[in-house]
Structure 1
């Protein structure tokens, strides 16, 4: 299906393909690594938010005030991203 090429030209194209393939694989690996870091950071932030919301809710209960976050959390505005 390919075009007739000299051995030298064919080798040059093969080297180009091999290099491009390696670079694509390297980029894919980098993307996976970065996604893992982002997911880990999101989990940390969500845990911190959950803890702070619990502290805030307890404070509201002690003071007898409305918890403004209770409404937004139950309506999905604070939805979990994982």
Structure 2
């Protein structure tokens, strides 16, 4: 079944419009990913600062830092599985 000139024009126009929409969405996705990465970096920095304070308090009290112990165990377990 051959398409009429109007149909060809319509489908080409549809392709152009949707291609532009896809490109716009890709830009939006990249922008959102960049925001998420920045936020994750902020949270990681805050976590590291809190861990340093916690570790300092443990040392002042002369107690073991169970967060450090549990994290190293988690990393070792994860490495042996992966």
TM over 0.5: yes
Residue 60 (1) aligns with residue 58 (2) = yes
Q: What TM-score, normalized by structure 2, do the two folds share? A: 0.82
Q: Spell out structure 1 runs of 4+ moving beyond 6 A.
A: none
Higher helix share: 2
Instruction: Please state how far the C-alpha of 1:30 moved relative to its aligned partner.
Output: 1.0
Instruction: Report which structure shows greater RCO (CA 8 Å, sep ≥6).
Output: 1
* Consecutive unaligned residues in structure 1, runs of 5 or more: 78-82
User: Aligned-pair RMSD on alpha carbons?
Assistant: 1.6
The answer for unaligned runs of 5 or more in structure 2 is 77-82
Q: TM-score, normalised by structure 1?
A: 0.82
Partner of 1:7: 5
